Amino acid sequence: MIRPDPPRGAGLGFRRELLPELKAGVPACIDFFELAPENWIDLGGRHARDLRVFTERYPFVCHGLSLSLGGAAPLDELLLRKIRDFMARHGIGLYTEHLSWCSDHGHLYDLLPIPPTGEAVRHVAARIRRVQDILGRRIAIENASYYVAAPIGEMDEAAFINAVLAEADCWLHLDVNNVYVNSVNFGFDPVGFLRRMPAERVVYMHTAGHYREADDLVVDTHGAAVIDPVWRLLDTAYELFGPHPTLLERDYNLPPLAELAAEVAVIAGMQARHGLGRVAA
């Protein structure tokens, strides 16, 4: 297996809406970019050329959207082979996916929770191992946000994540905002949850904004600025696991690049306080 080679520092999602501003100049606080390979694999022409310009200058991470690791339908192995070739072509070392399911004879356009049972652990881990075989590398799985608990369960979310990581022998992509969202929606201590994550498996992190529907309901929209409790949780994650590469997710209500860069700079500053030195330009 190829060990993941995630970039250092703070990153931002690579979105076509931001390309005009990024072409004019990438803010110094941005060390790397992340993209969803499904959105780029089959593009040619100007978009492919634009991407190539940036992958030649900056590290990238692939964050998948549609493998449905917890689903029952067969894995899309054609897509996986396309992802493998895409990553090789652009020199991308790390691929991550959600610990969820999102398809059933067609895409459901949502990330749904997996029943936390021993049978599900074995099912998901076998699919992750197959993904790793095809890609020729370990992948990292992301803890997902959810809004309805699975009706059948033998363990809680943290125990389920640990069991899948061990059974599949894969890495953890720790989404701090998702921990916060689930802690509000299901009434648990987010710091306690972090303490149960295996430090040796963490290789990559996300933080993001969300929408508060009610006191006990938060929706993970990636459409707003990061709030103070999530920043504090990220700081705690760095204390526990170290300042791993961290991406600011922003998918909707995109502000000007300067506003996004200001949040990326917060990540970079926090990482520096936890001992991560900046790479000289």
3-state per-residue secondary structure call for the chain: CECCCCCCCEEEECCHHHHHHHHHCCCCCCCEEEECHHHCCCCCHHHHHHHHHHHCCCCEEEECCCCCCCCCCCCCHHHHHHHHHHHHHHCCCCEEEECCEEECCCEEEEEECCCCCHHHHHHHHHHHHHHHHHHCECCEEECCCCCCCCCCCCCCHHHHHHHHHHHHCCEEEEEHHHHHHHHHHHCCCHHHHHHCCCHHHEEEEEEECCEEEECCEEECCCCCCCCHHHHHHHHHHHHHHCCCCEEEECCCCCCCHHHHHHHHHHHHHHHHHCCCCCCCC
Residue 255 — pLDDT band, cuts 50, 70, 90? very high
Predicted local distance difference test score (pLDDT) of residue 9: 97
Predicted local distance difference test score (pLDDT) of residue 228: 96
Predicted local distance difference test score (pLDDT) of residue 106: 45
The CATH number for 10-273, chosen from 3.20.20.150, 2.60.40.420, 3.30.70.1400, 2.60.40.10, is: 3.20.20.150
> What average pLDDT does the segment 239-250 reach?
97
pTM surpassing 0.75?
Answer: yes
pLDDT digits (tens, 9 = 90+) for 193-237: 999 999 999 999 999 886 676 677 777 766 678 999 999 999 999
pLDDT at position 114 over 70: yes
- Give the whole-angstrom CA distance, residue 219 versus residue 211: 5
- Torsion angle defined by CA atoms of residues 178, 12, 173 and 8, in that order, rounded to the nearest 10 degrees: -140
- Give the whole-angstrom CA distance, residue 30 versus residue 199: 25
Q: How many residues does the chain have?
A: 281
pLDDT at position 4 over 70: no
Predicted local distance difference test score (pLDDT) of residue 105: 47
pLDDT digits (tens, 9 = 90+) for 137-178: 999 999 998 877 776 778 999 999 999 999 999 999 999 999
- Planar angle of CA 41, 7, 90, nearest 5 degrees: 30
pLDDT digits (tens, 9 = 90+) for 20-63: 999 999 999 999 999 999 999 987 788 899 999 999 999 999 99
Predicted local distance difference test score (pLDDT) of residue 210: 65
Predicted local distance difference test score (pLDDT) of residue 108: 43
Among 29-38, 112-121, 158-167, 272-281, the minimum mean pLDDT is found in 272-281
- Give the whole-angstrom CA distance, residue 215 versus residue 59: 39
Among 14-18, 70-74, 108-112, 187-191, the minimum mean pLDDT is found in 108-112
What is the phi-psi region of residue 222: left when phi exceeds 0, alpha when psi lies from -120 to 50, beta otherwise? Answer: left
Q: Judging by beta carbons within 10 Å of its beta carbon (0-12, 13-18, 19+), is residue 224 exposed, middle or buried?
A: middle
CA 128 to the chain's CA centroid: 16
- How many other β-carbons are positioned within 10 Å of the β-carbon of residue 28? 12
Predicted local distance difference test score (pLDDT) of residue 219: 74
- Give the whole-angstrom CA distance, residue 43 versus residue 226: 31
pLDDT at position 66 over 90: no
- Planar angle of CA 186, 249, 245, nearest 5 degrees: 100
Predicted local distance difference test score (pLDDT) of residue 121: 96
